[in-house]
């Protein structure tokens, strides 16, 4: 039975995610997959909890629970939102930046392995196709292109 395209993309994503989480753990950072899915959506200037929940497709309560865990572990911090005195932003803390550097290194390794396996032409075509597909599948794509 042939796997559908969405499942094929998910399998590749999960393989990369596992490698990243294993490397992050080996470097001394304890972050779960659920926490990572929230963490990776935090923008460079911080992101409101509601936006994190929406992008991660979880309830605001779940996102709040995960952010609380990340905050207690020192990966994120909450700060006032300069555009709205009533709101708070979730920002990446120094420990979170260090964990993110480990993760980024592994992502680069995995992408290099995939490129070596597929070849430059197929890798470029795959990336182009996925970026084009994102135009119709990711409502948050516009902000980080």
Query: Distances in Å between the alpha carbon of 132 and those of 64, 83, 120, 135, 137?
Result: 32, 32, 18, 5, 9
Q: Looking at the domain assignment, is residue 144 inside a domain?
A: no
Structural domain count, the chain: 1
The pTM score is 0.87
Q: Looking at the domain assignment, is residue 25 inside a domain?
A: yes
- The string of pLDDT tens digits covering residues 43-99 is 999 999 999 999 999 999 999 999 999 999 999 999 999 998 888 999 999 999 999
Q: Which of 31, 34, 18 is nearest to 107 (CA)?
A: 18
Q: Which domain holds residue 76?
A: 5-138
Residue 23: CB partners within 8 Å, gap ≥ 6? 102, 103, 105, 106
CATH number of domain containing 20: 1.10.10.10
Query: Distances in Å between the alpha carbon of 138 and those of 60, 71, 127, 144?
Result: 19, 27, 15, 11
């Amino acid at each position: 039975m042939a796997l559908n395209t969405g499942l094929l993309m998910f399998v590749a994503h999960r393989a990369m995610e596992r490698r990243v989480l294993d490397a992050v753990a080996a470097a001394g950072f304890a972050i779960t997959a659920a926490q990572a899915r929230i963490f990776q959506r935090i923008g460079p200037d911080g992101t409101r909890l509601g936006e994190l929940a929406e992008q991660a497709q979880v309830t605001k309560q779940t996102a709040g629970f995960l952010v609380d865990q990340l905050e207690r572990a020192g990966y994120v911090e909450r700060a006032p939102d300069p555009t709205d005195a009533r709101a708070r932003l979730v920002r990446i803390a120094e420990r979170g930046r260090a964990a993110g550097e480990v993760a980024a290194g592994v992502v680069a390794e995995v992408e290099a392995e995939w490129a070596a396996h597929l070849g430059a032409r197929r890798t470029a075509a795959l990336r182009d196709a996925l970026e084009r597909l994102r135009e119709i599948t990711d409502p948050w794509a516009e902000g980080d292109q």
